[in-house]
Amino acid sequence: MRDAAVEAVFQPVRPPTTFEETVERLGTAIRVGLLAPGSRLPSERELAEELRISRSTLRQALTTLVQSGHLTSARGRSGGTFVAERPPLHEPEEDPLGRDGWAVLDHRVAIEVGAVILAAERAEATDLDDLDELVERMAAPGDFEVYRRADIRFHIGVAEAAHSPHLVTQMTEVQGQMSDLIGRIAHPEEVLTRSNAQHRRLVRLLRDRDAARAVPLMRKHIRGTEHILGGLI
């Protein structure tokens, strides 16, 4: 029998950030000890049904948690997905991001969304070509530091495409603050690939001057980062 706290871990996940929220839900449960070291997760089929997500989304989330050291995977008759014997832990009452961390995330929402609105109105073709080049750089195999430098430059590039020097200054500041947070977690390839796919879609929407769709995409992009930080930090 599961107690109420563990039962809550396996409640259905809400769209549209099912992958990221699944990572956060399971990662947090492992870190605070609700899912004990060495314990076996339900089968993939059972877990996908409980969370009401697709098995492909579940696999992506489990792969991310294996790569981050929260889970292990074993094959064979006695195989399955298990909580790591020594997973990253923190005390249950501790907020891993802290007040300052959440303030940075709030500040980022305001800056990023504002930049997208103005970029959809003002971006020139050369601005968007530069963003496409950064997307391709992030898509190429390489280490995380190369990816992160291009990622920072991409978000600053959106502010530059808004043609607002003040926004560029603010974006540069908030990206520096985000780097302090992101540097504290693992960087699974699955997360980076999904994030860059959103970058690619965003540039297409900016080319179409489609702020109505670009803004919620950026908000989804930021919310995904929030879930990943909440689950892995």
Q: What is the pLDDT of residues 140-192, one digit of tens each?
A: 887 888 999 999 999 999 999 999 999 999 999 999 888 888 877 777 788 88
Kindly state the average pLDDT of the residues 197-218. Answer: 97
The yes/no answer on whether domain 4-83 falls in CATH 3.30.70.141 is no
Is 78:84 a contact under the CB 8 Å cutoff? no
Tens-digit pLDDT profile for residues 83-107: 998 876 654 445 555 566 678 889 9
22 phi and psi, to 5 degrees?
Answer: -65, -45
Spatial separation of the C-alpha atoms in residues 13 and 95, rounded to whole Å: 22
Kindly state the average pLDDT of the residues 111-124. Answer: 97
pLDDT at position 195 is 93
pLDDT(31) > 50:
yes
| 225, two tokens | 């980062």
Task: Give 25-79 as a 3 state SS string.
Answer: HHHHHHHCCCCCCCCECCCHHHHHHHHCCCHHHHHHHHHHHHHCCCEEEECCCCC
Domain ranges of the chain: 4-83, 98-232
Class of domain 98-232: mainly alpha
pLDDT(40) > 70:
yes
Q: Of 14 and 127, which is predicted with more confidence?
A: 127
pLDDT(17) > 70:
yes
pLDDT(213) > 70:
yes
Spatial separation of the C-alpha atoms in residues 144 and 187, rounded to whole Å: 7
